[in-house]
Amino acid sequence: MSMHQRRNGKPRTDDMYNNLESGRRSAPSSGRGMSSHETNANIMENQNNDRISELSDQVSRLKGLTIDIGNEVRDQNRLLDNMGDGFTSVGDMLSGSLARIGTMLESGGAKHMCTLPTNIAKELAPSLIAMCIFLSTYSTYDVMGVGIAKGKYKYGEKKYEDLLAQMPEEVYLAQRAQTNQVEQMTAFVFGSLSCAFFVNGIVAGAMSLIWVVLRRGYASAYRKAVGVPVSQIGLAKYTIAAYLMSNGMVMATAVHAVRSFISDN
């Protein structure tokens, strides 16, 4: 083989080598490409994963909501049980009270329907005694109770904005008990005096005294309920019976007043 042929043959060998190397480099790049079908499959898989994650979050929220509903149902059942016990005790107490009132009426304390009392002071005296008891205990226990609770937490040394930021539970309960007493006082005073004047002084005095005892029990239970849920304080046995007493006196007065008005005409 001549030198000229060797020179001509070498370039052909180099070209073959270069073509082989370029083929090796280009082969992997063609293997890394993805078809449109594979791309769509990956997109759908990612979307499914997102939907599964969202569904899992919703299931977790529903589970928490179900637990909260179950707890609320148990609390409501407990409250209804307490109210049932309160109604039972109130019914027993009212039965005894009505029996005692009936005994007083039979003893000669009642006056005829549609007539005014001949001795107004005597008729009003029992109700006024009950009112004096309530007002004196209100100022002693309810009003001073708020002051004692505030003094315990040194309210006099705090700024106004600090007082609004966080009120101790003991102070809040004392204030709420006092406020509720004031809220119920109007119906009590009117019902007691009007019932004594139009219906019967002894009956009004007895019902007023029962009301005072119930309201004292209510306020005391409220002030002592620090850290106790409202549903477990047992206020229903006081409030329901007190409402029956005050509303009973008001309604008795209304019935007697209507009958008096009709009889005069």
What SS3 string covers the chain? CCHHHHHHHHHHHHHHHHHHHHHHHHHHHHHCCCCHHHHHHHHHHHHHHHHHHHHHHHHHHHHHHHHHHHHHHHHHHHHHHHHHHHHHHHHHHHHHHHHHHHHHHHHHHCCCCCCCCCCHHHHHHHHHHHHHHHHHHHHHHHHHHHHHHHHHCCHHHCCHHHHHHCCCHHHHHHHHHHHHHHHHHHHHHHHHHHHHHHCCHHHHHHHHHHHHHHHHHHHHHHHCCCCCCHHHCCCHHHHHHHHHHHHHHHHHHHHHHHHHHHHHC
**What's the pTM value of the predicted model, to 2 decimals?**
0.55
pLDDT score of 39 more than 60:
yes
Residue 58 within a domain: no
Question: Which one is predicted more confidently, 261 or 217?
Answer: 217
CATH number of the domain that residue 91 is part of: 1.20.120.550
Q: Is residue 71 part of a domain?
A: no
Q: Has residue 19 been placed in a domain?
A: no
Expressed as residue numbers, the domain containing 165 is 78-264
Give percent of the chain with pLDDT exceeding 90. Answer: 6
Decide if 47 is inside a domain: no
- The number of domains in the chain is 1
Instruction: Please report, for residues 12, 27, 81, 189, 220, the alpha-carbon distance to residue 23 in angstroms, rounded to integers and kept in the order given.
Output: 17, 6, 87, 108, 97
Mean pLDDT of 4-14: 46
- Per-residue pLDDT of 84-142, as tens digits, reads 666 666 566 656 655 655 565 555 444 555 556 677 888 888 888 888 988 888 888 88
Distance between CA 69 and CA 33 in Å, rounded? 54
The answer as to whether 182 is a domain residue is yes
With respect to residue 26, please indicate whether it lies within any of the assigned structural domains.
Answer: no
Condensed to tens digits (0 to 9), the pLDDT of residues 218-246 reads 989 888 888 888 778 888 888 888 888 99
Task: Give the pLDDT band of residue 169 (cuts 50, 70, 90).
Answer: confident
In a domain, 212, yes or no: yes
Contacts of 83 (CB under 8 A, 6+ apart): 236
Q: Is residue 4 part of a domain?
A: no
25 pLDDT more than 50: no
Of 212 and 22, the one with more pLDDT = 212
In this prediction, residue 34 carries a pLDDT of 61
What number is the average pLDDT over the span 55-80? 77
Per-residue confidence (pLDDT) for residue 97, from 0 to 100: 57
Average pLDDT of the segment spanning 162-182: 81
**CB-CB neighbours of 24 under 10 Å:** 9
Which pLDDT value is given to residue 167?
A: 76
